[in-house]
Amino acid sequence: MRVVIVGGVAGGMSAATRLRRLSEETEIIVLDKGPYVSFANCGLPYYLSGEISQRDALVVASPEHLRKRFNLDVRPNTEVVKIEPEKHQVIINHDGQSAPLHYDRLILSPGAKAVMPTIDKTADASEIFTLRSIPDVDRIMAALKQDAKTAAVIGAGSVGVEAAENLTKRGLKTTLIEAGDHILPFMDYEMAAIVSRETTKHGVKLKLNHRVTQLADHQLKLSDGSTVQADVIIAAAGVTPDTELAQAAGIKTGDRGGIIVDDHYQTSVDDIYAVGDAILVKQLLTRKLASIPLASPANRQGREVADVIMGRHRRNLGGIGTAIVRSFEMAAAATGLNTAQLKQSGMPYQAVHITGQSHAAYYPGGTPLSLKLMFNPKNGVLYGAQAVGKAGVDKRIDVLSVVIKHHMTVFDLPEFELSYAPPFGSAKDPVNMIGYAAENLVEGLSDNLQFDEVDAAVKAGAYLIDVRNPKELERDGRLPNAVNFPLDDLRSRLSELPKDRLLIVSCRSGQRSYIAERILKNHGFKVKNLDGAFLTYSAAY
């Protein structure tokens, strides 16, 4: 049997090597239109600053190595220009020469392509680079070496944020331009706002709610009429499945051109399979098809499609999407659905925020860790989680991704026995703590309202109480319209509180205000807790 694979990086090469481990007889041919296969696309941004200093480190395995170790026929610089399913062949183009190549099974892993923003360009417009391959990064490095002093990155998703960090670390004055109202669109507004602060603190100029409209020479014009000078411009405005080839062959595609596959990665055309960024997968929470263009699913799918082709029982179970990114010292990660996705899918949800510590507060070096959960308010099934902080973000989100993928509930979180010693965590880990907080909400011990609801509630007559100590208010700032009742004075000052109005309680992170909420509820007041309290409110505004 001959298996031909289009695309020799994450999904394609995982499929090829697994196929070989399962069968010595199968002929395996891997075609890639680029000069490199098996390269570290996720590492490219870090090469811009020199954090990854050796270009060679970006190439994980060479065609020679893959031939020797896995007996793979790897052909770089070979583009598949046409698929002819009825003849079971592809037309390949190498060195300007076209030739047919027969397949018994064809695996497509062509990945995604950069979305280019629509910009009016003058004749002398400078180049807009993309950052997807080693040749892309070579072109950017060549431009940087022309004494570049300024840079602009269009799009503040993960790749844009990483590019902005690395260009800044290289010494360029960098502007990050984003059309939306927050960076990192996979995160929610108030969580991303914490990362924005870190990004600007390190010198990146952030332009939110701005579109690039025109480019002349090295000057970008933005939607508000302002201009940005940039010696080097990188577009990182997202990706879309690279599936023109598949579509031309009559393979069925869906949203944004993503290839539709069944549970066994089989496309609508016999003997043609597809994996990676090019396909749509079942989102396990919405049960709808979605694009999840990330490295871990692509690698897993590559391995699984090899199993399927070799007759092993393996199914594409779908995904939830789990991502992490660093901006300078801050990490941001998310798993499952975010607020925008939940609203779009019409799923009722409740959110809860906490701010804990990366490890035991009494042990030196701990840093704040902000966590957010979204869950079904009736049965506590988890839908999404987000975390931001300088340390421990990956550990918490990885735990929560397992929880969400396996449809667990907020009631499971307090039961988790997570590894603990003071340098690593807390006896009550933030994952346990947010479980307690969410459990209280589902069981009706607590009610909350969000940072973006509190101002309207106060306007409508609610009475906002801040239970921090006066010194904290002076040091950290005040919530607008809040009256200060320090927690320890609350019981003795109950007569000062209106019984006929909704009381909203807040503190620094939400822990003391929960105690206040319980005191007040036990005395017959109608109370809600400002979720995430002052820290979340002040991060957002």
Residues in contact with ligand FAD by CB under 6 A are: 6-7, 9-12, 31-34, 41-42, 44-45, 79-80, 109-111, 131-132, 159, 242, 245, 276-278, 293-296, 298
Closest contact distance (angstroms) between CB of 55 and ligand FAD is 15
Q: How far is the CB of 34 from ligand FAD (least distance, A)?
A: 4
3-state secondary structure of 253: strand
Closer by beta carbon to ligand FAD, 172 or else 278: 278
- Judged by beta carbon, residue 234 or residue 482, the one nearer ligand FAD is 234
Nearest Cα neighbor of 37 from 70, 54, 13 is 13
Pairing of strands 120-121, 73-75: unpaired
Examine the residue annotation and report whether 507 is marked as an active-site residue of this protein.
Answer: no
Closer residue to ligand FAD, CB minimum distance, 4 or 530: 4
Catalytic residue (one of 22, 42, 141, 519): 42
Q: Which residue has the tokens 């924005």?
A: 196
Identity of the amino acid at 520: L
Q: How far is the CB of 511 from ligand FAD (least distance, A)?
A: 33
d(C-alpha 352, C-alpha 385), whole Å: 10
- Give whichever of 277 and 429 is closer to ligand FAD, judged by the CB atom: 277
Please report how close the Cβ of residue 369 comes to ligand FAD at its closest, in angstroms.
Answer: 21
Distance CA 269, CA 61 (A): 31
Could you tell me the smallest distance in angstroms from the CB atom of residue 415 to ligand FAD? 29
Select 12 or 117, whichever has its Cβ closest to ligand FAD.
12
Please give the DSSP secondary-structure letter assigned to residue 181.
S
Distance of CA 172 to the CA centre of its chain: 25
Residue number of the CB atom closest to ligand FAD: 276
Residues forming beta bridges with residue 322, ordered by sequence position: 335
CA 357 – CA 537 distance, rounded (Å): 18
Shortest distance, position 191 Cβ to ligand FAD, whole Å: 18
d(CA 435, CA 412): 8
Q: 135-144 — which CB contacts under 8 Å span 24+ positions? A: 135/34, 135/35, 136/44, 137/44, 137/47, 137/48, 137/58, 140/48, 140/232, 140/234, 141/47, 141/48, 143/231, 143/232, 144/48, 144/170, 144/172, 144/232
Note whether 462 and 504 are within 8 A (CB). Answer: yes
Q: Which is nearer to ligand FAD, 166 or 358 (CB)?
A: 166
Catalytic (active-site) positions? 42
